[in-house]
């Protein structure tokens, strides 16, 4: 499955990856699910999860004896603001070809 359509971005920046992880964990996800859906190595995933837990964008909860990662209220607010900013940039990039990377559509959906 390619969430970016036919032309995936060449490089994702850190905020893009944080937003992607938050989208994946909105309803709660296992670590391996996050790793595969965000297309991250195990080391990269651990770095992002530790960082996001430390600044309270994610929380780790136990469900059926499994560790589940879930976006916090702060994480949900971050994701909402990230979407707003990317929408503004998307509008600007349509007016001028400034090569701004726009996140994939699944991160731009409201919800």
Region 20-29 average pLDDT:
96
Task: Give the list of residues 6+ apart from residue 41 with CB closer than 8 angstroms, or none.
Answer: 35
Q: Is the pLDDT of residue 2 over 70?
A: no
Region 53-59 average pLDDT:
97
- pLDDT of 6: 45
**Rounded to two decimals, what is the model's pTM?**
0.75
Q: Is the pLDDT of residue 3 over 50?
A: no
The domain locations on the chain are 14-103
Region 45-58 average pLDDT:
97
CATH class of 14-103: mainly alpha
Q: Is the pLDDT of residue 76 over 90?
A: yes
16 is written with which tokens? 């893009």
């Amino acid at each position: 499955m390619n969430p970016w359509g036919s032309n995936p971005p060449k490089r994702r920046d850190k905020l893009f990856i944080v937003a992607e992880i938050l989208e994946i964990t909105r309803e709660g996800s296992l670590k391996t699910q996050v790793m595969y859906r965000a297309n991250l190595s195990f080391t990269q995933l651990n770095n992002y999860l530790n960082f996001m837990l430390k600044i309270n964008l994610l929380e780790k909860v136990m469900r059926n004896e499994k560790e589940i990662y879930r976006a916090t209220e702060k994480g949900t607010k971050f994701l909402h603001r990230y979407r707003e900013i990317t929408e503004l940039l998307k509008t600007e990039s349509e007016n001028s070809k400034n090569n701004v990377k726009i996140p994939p559509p699944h991160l731009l959906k409201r919800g």
